[in-house]
Amino acid sequence: MSPLGIVGRGIELALLFAWSLFGVYVLLLTVVATRQRAENGVPASRLRRLGVLIPAHDEEIGLGATLGSLALQDYPKDLFEVIVIADNCQDRTAEIAHGLGATVLERTDPTLRGKNHALGWGLTRLARLDYPHDAYVILDADSLATPNLLEVVNRYVEQGWEAIQVHNAVRNPRDSWMTGLRYASFASYSYLRPLGRTRLGSTAKLQGNGMGLTAGLLRRHPWRSLALAEDFDYSAELAANGVRVAFAPEGEVRSEMPLTLDRAHSQLSRWERGRWQVFRRHVLRLLSIAFRERSLWRAEVALDLLVPPLSFLISLPGFFFALEYGLHALNKGDAWSGILASLWGGVEALYVVHLAAALLVVKAPAVVYRSLLCAPLYVAKLLRIYLGLLLGQEEKGWVRTPRAKGKGEQT
């Protein structure tokens, strides 16, 4: 084998080891999450005063539906306040929020734009009032909440949790193959895996939409995250300080996803840049804490930050399986080609089982399964984004993501 071939084979073996480790990890979470277990549905003995924070940038089209879903909450109306943070708005967002009974905090700062800055600004304002609520629920401005959302958050707070993440789902899976793929990804990332992590005694990850945070937690650990993935950043910060996040599958929020790859570009780019920021800031720190304090769950948090997107988890083993199997079948490979093809096929099976279980658990509609046929296009888009990030060609600040109806989103 040539020197170049040896280097290539070494890289392949390193990837095989990493993807095998990730595969065993997600399979473990799958097994734990899919075991039947009765959820704790005992009503809370105390109803707390809750604040619902909605960062909104030019949301006049969809905000009414979001506020309408909150008006249907199975929770006393006098015990929760809806607070819309109208961030750099140039439309009727503030007017609509006022008209539907929400408290409106208007913010204008064209140099510091985006949800991370808006949320930090709003929580700082509330901190000056010594947090007039017992806990806060944070929603995106295009979300629909299930009627039990606030009751679920209140119940978990009573059980002693200070940070809660409900099921964050996709609202429009039938609109296009792109939204169908996002639904599949969310089934894994936003439901099955956090459920498994919580049941293992580790921690879920805050996901920006459908988060519950107690006032006491915010006093001890103020929201200072200015990362593009502010939710992931704050989750990792909490883990470093010994605070776990509960996953509450009983509650759900559903938000719209962009219909096309072009419309999704800025959102995907922001998420991946944010993921890299959190990775650089927290992985080594969490591993150090895990080693020093012999904390297995902190090590698990670091491992979770290392796991690539589901599309890469599935596509890379499929690529190497096809490559090695093809070389072996055509007698163009070496003695290892057949063995490696079998190993890559086994790794691929781990992720297929995981994805199938996730879709079955959330009762995904048939259109989501059909959308999986378009996954290679999605992977190509992610590869293009990563290449742009490496070359410094992607936007470094917050960029509006076009919505299904053509408006911007701040998620």
Torsion from C-alpha of 355, 202, 24, 257, nearest 10 degrees: 30
- Between 249-253, 333-337, 350-354, the lowest mean confidence (pLDDT) is in 333-337
What's the pTM value of the predicted model, to 2 decimals? Answer: 0.88
Q: What DSSP line would sit under 84-137, residue for residue?
A: EEEES--SSHHHHHHHTT-EEEEE--TTS-SHHHHHHHHHHHHHHTT-SSSEEE
- Between 141-150, 226-235, 338-347, the lowest mean confidence (pLDDT) is in 226-235
- pLDDT grade for 78, boundaries at 50, 70 and 90: very high
Q: Supply 377's token pair.
A: 């296009």
- Please, where are the H alpha helices in 221-336? 230-240, 261-293, 296-306, 310-329
Write down the pLDDT at residue 286. Answer: 95
SS3 at position 2: coil
Write down the pLDDT at residue 389. Answer: 66
- pLDDT grade for 94, boundaries at 50, 70 and 90: very high
Q: Whose CA is closest to 89, among 57, 119, 60?
A: 57
pLDDT higher for 264 or 100? Answer: 100
pLDDT tens digits, 376-404: 888 887 788 777 767 665 555 545 555 55
pLDDT tens digits, 267-306: 777 767 778 888 888 999 999 999 999 999 999 999 999 9
How far apart (Å, rounded) are the C-alpha atoms in residues 320 and 300?
Answer: 27
Q: Quick check: 47 pLDDT over 70?
A: yes
Amino acid in position 49: R
SS3 content of the chain, % helix, strand, coil (to 5): 55, 15, 30
User: Which residues, 6+ apart, have CB-to-CB distance to 246 below 8 Å?
Assistant: 156, 159, 161, 163, 164, 165, 198, 204
Q: Quick check: 106 pLDDT over 60?
A: yes
Q: Supply 326's token pair.
A: 């093809």
The top-scoring range by mean pLDDT among 63-72, 276-285, 327-336, 393-402 is 63-72
Q: Quick check: 121 pLDDT over 80?
A: yes
> Mean pLDDT over residues 100-123, rounded?
89
Q: What DSSP line would sit under 24-74, residue for residue?
A: HHHHHHHHHHHS------PPPSSPPPEEEEEEESS-TTTHHHHHHHHHT-S
Tell me how far the alpha carbon of residue 357 is from its chain's centroid: 18
Write down the pLDDT at residue 383. Answer: 81
SS3 at position 153: helix
Q: Quick check: 116 pLDDT over 70?
A: yes
Under a CB-based contact definition with an 8 Å cutoff, are residues 131 and 219 in contact? yes
pLDDT tens digits, 183-228: 999 999 999 999 999 999 999 999 989 999 999 999 999 988 766 7
How far apart (Å, rounded) are the C-alpha atoms in residues 388 and 28?
Answer: 34
